[in-house]
Amino acid sequence: MEIITSVKNDTVRLAKSLAEKKFRVQTGLFLVEGGNIVKDIPQDVNVRFYLATERRADEIPVRVDSSRPQVYYVTDAVMKSLSDTVTPYGLAAVAEIPVREFAHPRGNALLLDGVSDPGNLGTVLRTAAATGFDDVYLLGCADPYSPKTVRASMGGIFRTRLYEVTEEQACELASDDGAVALDMAGKSFTEGGLPPRVTLVAGSEAHGVRPAVLRACASVRSLPMFNGMESLNVAVASAVAMYLSAFIFNN
């Protein structure tokens, strides 16, 4: 077993560079770091190579396809150099970013407007996957393939179809009969009466859904609040709305 000991190794430098968006755009690759999420990468995701410390050699996922990604073994110090966690697990993968043409939802979907916090975005993707909101559209949001977003998604990044859209495309989605915007000016979400196929539209806590998209939405709903609270974090609000849509009102 040959172990890479230098952070100047070309493979290590490539993996480390993927912390920056410009290099993810240039290479079409992103870094997946952490034991559970690397082991959870679906077989249809194109993995270029794995990085592992010696103690994690037995945990490298077995691919049943013919791709047989290369495995590079590195020291703990090298793994720490490319990780943004305090205590790296010792297992990482470099995978290809999927390329998708804009398409309308196949089922329940989510349109996010201006969600700029990577942790919030990752949490939303995790919930979207868990509730069957398989198509997620991003308008002016954080990069879904940043290490923090990927980690926070806990595999949701692999189980949702992601599309980065323009404002024009967002308005097109919002004009669908099933589009429901989350906004405190709307009627209560708990009143039910949702369309059978929903496209939830949610904005950032600071700015909400931009006016042009909000105006295009067929319906505007709010989540009721006690104790004078004005709003919820977008990850929490989206989670509540997705669960109500998927398991309560349309069950």
Band the pLDDT of 145: cuts 50, 70, 90: very high
Q: Which of 57, 147, 58, 148 is nearest to 94 (CA)?
A: 147
| 211/5 Cα distance (integer angstroms) | 53
Higher pLDDT, 68 or 175: 175
pLDDT score, position 204: 85
Query: For the chain, what are the domain ranges?
Result: 3-96, 109-249
Per the CB < 8 A criterion, the answer to whether 82 and 6 are in contact is no
Domain at 109-249: CATH code: 3.40.1280.10
Q: What 3 state SS string does the chain have?
A: CCEECCCCCHHHHHHHHCCCHHHHHHHCEEEEECHHHHHCCCCCCCEEEEEEEHHHHHHCCCCCCCCCCEEEEECHHHHHHHCCCCCCCCEEEEEECCCCCCCCCCCCEEEEECCCCHHHHHHHHHHHHHHCCCEEEEECCCCCCCHHHHHHHCCHHHCCEEEECCHHHHHHHHCCCCEEEEEEEEEEHHHCCCCCCCEEEEEECCCECCHHHHHHCCEEEECCCCCCCCCCCHHHHHHHHHHHHHHHHCC
- The CATH number for 3-96, chosen from 1.10.3210.10, 3.30.1330.30, 3.40.140.10, 3.30.1330.10, is 3.30.1330.30
Binning pLDDT at 50, 70 and 90, where does residue 241 land? Answer: very high
Spatial distance between the Cα atoms of 95 and 181, rounded to a whole number of angstroms: 33
Q: pTM of the full predicted structure? A: 0.94
Domains 3-96 and 109-249 share a fold: no
Task: Flag whether pLDDT at 113 surpasses 90.
Answer: yes
What dihedral angle (degrees, nearest 10) is formed by the CA atoms of 114, 118, 122, 127? -40
Whether residue 251 has pLDDT greater than 60: no
pLDDT, tens only, 91-101: 999 999 999 99
